[in-house]
Structure 1
């Protein structure tokens, strides 16, 4: 069954709570430890998630006002914001992660039906209706909650989200078929994350 706008909003809320619980358990030292993403500490990862919420908030503003507001001023600025955020003390970084998520949720909740239909442009240059914004956020917050490396796995994510993620990545990677196996492992494999599938080619990183 195709994902719906309501599905995506539900997954954003659910995974935001999952992520917040993980963040609350991290002290300064734990935040500076490596994440599951090569080359990034947990602070880098969390700065990325927080900046993503702010960036998607720009798209919500675009949909609400009709004023073109790109997610990022440039990719260089995006990268600089992540590097800067990774130097923040744990308490300030956690406040940014949680505050940006709340601000995005409030902004999305205020959109009218017509505003949700407005077209916006993603950081990859795709023109999409604003109804895609919750899905873009769901992918980021759900997958990166696992990438934080605190013990959460793809099996802890909602089955509906995993099914939608498989469909999405399969289309974006141009795959004719996906391997058989448990849904969490298939989703992890397609996303380029650790999995238990055997005899499958390496697809490389995604997101």
Structure 2
């Protein structure tokens, strides 16, 4: 599934604004409350989303200039940045979300057409995938705040692209599954499918969020009858 990266940036803008509105509605001190991610507070999630914007800004700068600019300066910089910022007051974190998004949006706007085809060694793909990667981070981690935004709020296009990405990245050794999203005229498969492979049916959002570890799959069907299998591990 391909899309003009600058068109996708509109979705990134809108998703970021939704996330910021959720953060602005939190009570003072909410940054220390637990998120839906084990071991992470809401402050961890918000700080991670901000630092992720800076990481992708670095990759776009690399693509535009040709000067190697890794997403994170060192192998430990990602974790260190999250830990350093997660306890800041909520208003500082919200300002950081806005500022880091603006830097990312400016970096995307500065990209000449040919720079989007630049192969990023860090990702193994072209720079054109960066806006999608950023959108995925914002939408999935918005759910991780656990403050009212759920996979039901994802757009159809986002849910389908996320589902296809998870399926494509699962690999041949993943537990075998056949997936039948409602409204899709063909099934998707993970792993090596045999006659006994379970078939999972349901709304695209539900299958995608279950595979992403964000829902329990309670609204999905399994054929032959039985409990839901353990989905392959997703990042």
Fold equivalence (TM over 0.5): yes
Q: Does 1:190 pair with 2:211?
A: yes
Please show how residues 22-171 of structure 1 align to structure 2 within 5 Å.
22-122=22-122, 126-171=123-168
Question: SS of 1:111's equivalent?
Answer: coil
CA contact (8 A) 2:31 2:87 kept: no
Q: Which of 52-61 and 88-97 deviates more?
A: 88-97
Taking the aligned partners of 2:91 and 2:164, their CA distance within structure 1 comes to 37
| Unaligned segments of structure 1, at least 5 residues | none
Taking the aligned partners of 2:54 and 2:70, their CA distance within structure 1 comes to 11
**1:154: Cα distance to partner?**
0.6
Q: Which of 191-200 and 109-118 deviates more?
A: 191-200
Q: Which of 108-117 and 169-178 deviates more?
A: 169-178
CA contact (8 A) 2:213 2:234 kept: yes
Structure 1 or 2: more strand by fraction: 2
Query: How many residue pairs are counted as aligned between the two chains?
Result: 203
Q: TM-score, normalised by structure 1?
A: 0.91
Structure number with greater Rg is 2
Task: Write the deviation string for residues 40-75 of structure 1: whole angstroms up to 9, x where unpaired.
Answer: 000001111000000000001101110011101223
Task: Write the deviation string for residues 162-201 of structure 1: whole angstroms up to 9, x where unpaired.
Answer: 0000000011113663221012211111101123235322
Q: TM-score, normalised by structure 2?
A: 0.81
| Unaligned segments of structure 2, at least 5 residues | 180-199, 222-226
Structure 1 or 2: more helix by fraction: 1
CA RMSD of superposed structures (Å): 1.7
1:190–1:92 Cα change, 3 Å: same
CA contact (8 A) 1:47 1:93 kept: yes
